[in-house]
Amino acid sequence: MAEAARVSVVVVSRHRPRELALCLTALTRQTHPDVEVVLVADPASAGIRPDLALKRVTFDQPNISQARNLGLAQAAGQVVAFIDDDALAAPGWVARLSAPFADPRVIAATGFTRGPDGLAWQVRAERMTPSGRAMPLPLDQPALLGPEQGCPISTVGTNCAFRRDSLIEVGGFDPAFAFHLDESDVNMRLAARFPAGLTAVVPAAEVIHGLAPGTTRAAKGVPHDLSAIGRSTVLFAARHGGDAAWILQAQRQRLLRLMVSGRIEPAAVRRVFATLRAGMAQAAGVSAPLPVWDMPPPPAFLPLHTDHRDPMFLSGWHWQRRALRRQAAQAQAQGHQVMVLLLTPTVLPHRLVLTRHGWWEQHGGLWGKSQPGDSPVLRCRIRDRVNRERRYFAVQW
């Protein structure tokens, strides 16, 4: 792998065509020279973006592990990356996430994930315990890390990659984990099979995770059914020698925080918490056999045409947005990677989005925060603020 590895990106989607379309647009903006995309989606979404050369698999069951295995079976890259349909990959995501696999010791990699506003961190570096509980690591620099005391690095499901041969050797994903801890179970099995294997933590490999409504949640971060979480946690702890009891307190606290913030009705807390207990009871005493890979070799690699010309940064006041967006559209048509910064004379925090036209747009106050750790009010002139955001854009994009 002296040259850049061929990378297959697997996207699983179920009944979220709007989010999926944006996710695919972001993948067409990748800077990596050799990418294919495998889309595993429900029948109505499998044909989305017919202009793109994608490997398409139709699947419409609520089982993320089974869907990922179907994608893995089609993936011909040396490295296989996974991203959710409600996530947006920064243009350098594939290149940065796959680069560490040039080291033969590396069997997995994970990046840093931002929340729906494109600003706050949702997940950074973590280790996974045998109980299924992720423990944060105080890490903000690239690192190659092995398991410690039975705890491997956690590769968050919407921002992870694996050496294909290694993932196949441990049987791929386990359909017993229909939702939750599916990739964590892979981390544990990889650590057991390859105790000297390393996982790359790549902070600059960023995605923005939107937390769109789905099977288990009706709104961003607000669950209506915790049964899959309860079931998966009990199965995970039983398989890997942990204790699942911690999930009761953790999910109770989560629901109470949502109630206090007004995002869930008090009457719903008891009902939703009962689904957690029901899921745990379903898994009690169940012994899930380890998965075995029995899929045939994948079809030939299908390169996705990606645009990666020189990036362009445009900035101005919010009331200049029409002119700036016209410039962005022209640059986009020429294949440039475009970021538009729109400022208001306020302290509003910033938000980063990918427009449906394909360029990135960041908007917020001249004195508002735009990165984790920023003060709520930044004292600066517009020239300094533009230069600050331009520098960040140059590094990340």
Distance CA(106)–CA(109), nearest Å, equals 8
Picking from 160, 148, 144, 147, the residue whose alpha carbon sits closest to that of residue 104 is 144
Q: Does 301 fall in a domain?
A: no
Give the pLDDT confidence score for residue 311 in this predicted structure. Answer: 87
Domain boundary among 283, 301, 329: 283
Give per-residue pLDDT as tens, 347-365: 999 999 999 888 999 999 9
Taking 70 as the threshold, does the pLDDT of residue 372 lie above it?
yes
Residue 39 lies in a domain: yes
Q: Do 51 and 141 fall within a single domain? A: yes
Distance (Å) of CA 121 to CA 20, 197, 326: 22, 27, 31
Task: Tell me the two tokens of residue 255.
Answer: 């629901």
Tokens at residue 217, please? 């949640």
pLDDT value of residue 235:
97
Residue 75 domain-assigned? yes
pLDDT over 80 at 217, yes or no: no
Q: Which helix (H) or strand (E) holds 16?
A: none
Spatial separation of the C-alpha atoms in residues 54 and 302, rounded to whole Å? 7
Q: pLDDT for 158-194, tens place per residue?
A: 999 999 999 999 999 999 999 999 999 999 999 999 9
Task: Give Cα separations from 104 to 5, 108, 125, 200, 272 (angstroms).
Answer: 12, 11, 22, 12, 45
Choosing from 153, 183, 209, the residue where a domain stops is: 209
- pLDDT (tens digit, 9 = 90+) per residue, 320-343? 999 999 999 999 888 888 999 999
> What pLDDT band is residue 220 in, cutting at 50, 70 and 90?
low
The number of distinct structural domains making up the chain is 3
Query: Do both 171 and 245 map to the same domain?
Result: no
Domain span at 274 = 217-283
Tell me how far apart the alpha carbons of residues 3 and 46 are, in angstroms, rounded to a whole number. 32
Q: How far apart are the first and last CA of the chain?
A: 24
Residues 56 and 146 in one domain: yes
Residues 82 and 12 placed together within one structural domain of the fold: yes
Contact 344, 318 (CB under 8 A): yes
Q: Is residue 228 part of a domain?
A: yes
**What is the CATH classification number for the domain harbouring 173?**
3.90.550.10
Residue 23 in any domain: the answer is: yes
User: For residues 23 and 118, which has the higher predicted lDDT (pLDDT)?
Assistant: 23
For residue 347 the two structure tokens come to 């302290």
The pLDDT of residue 375: 94
Per-chain mean pLDDT for the chain: 93
Closest C-alpha to 225, from 165, 166, 177, 180: 180
For residue 354, list its beta bridge partners.
Answer: 360
Per-residue pLDDT at 307? 65
Contact, 97 vs 81, CB < 8 A? yes
Same-domain status, 262 and 326: no
Higher pLDDT, 333 or 136: 136
pLDDT at residue number 2? 44
Question: Do 204 and 230 lie in a common domain?
Answer: no
260 and 333 assigned to the same domain: no
DSSP 17-56: HHHHHHHHHHHHT---SSEEEEEEE-HHHHT--TTS--EE
pLDDT, tens digit, 9 for 90 and up, residues 72-101: 999 999 999 999 999 999 999 999 999 999
pLDDT > 60? residue 52: yes
Beta bridge partners of 126: 136
Q: Are residues 259 and 315 in the same domain?
A: no
Angle at which helices 64-74 and 182-193 pack, to 10 degrees?
Answer: 60
pLDDT tier at 1 (50, 70, 90 boundaries)? very low
pLDDT of 58 reads 98
d(CA 212, CA 183): 19
Are 85 and 335 a contacting pair, CB within 8 Å?
no
- Among 188, 209, 230, the domain-final residue is 209
Are 208 and 396 within 8 A, CB to CB?
A: no
The answer to whether residue 132 sits within a structural domain is yes
290 assigned to some structural domain: no
Burial of 156 (0-12, 13-18, 19+ CB in 10 A): buried
State pLDDT tens for residues 8-39. Answer: 999 999 999 999 999 999 999 999 999 999 99
Token digits for 176?
């017993």
As a whole number, mean pLDDT of residues 369-394 equals 92
Question: DSSP state, 263?
Answer: S
Could you tell me if 233 and 203 lie in one domain?
Answer: no
Residue 71 has φ and ψ, to the nearest 5°, of -70, -40
> Residue for token digits 């990340």?
396
Please tell me the distance from the alpha carbon of residue 227 to that of residue 248, in angstroms, as a whole number: 12
Specify whether 159 is located in the same domain as 81.
Answer: yes
- The token pair at 12 is 């699983």
Instruction: Establish if 1 belongs to a structural domain.
Output: no
Instruction: Judge if 49 and 129 occupy the same domain.
Output: yes
Q: What pTM does this model have?
A: 0.93
Whether residue 360 is found in the same domain as residue 333 = yes
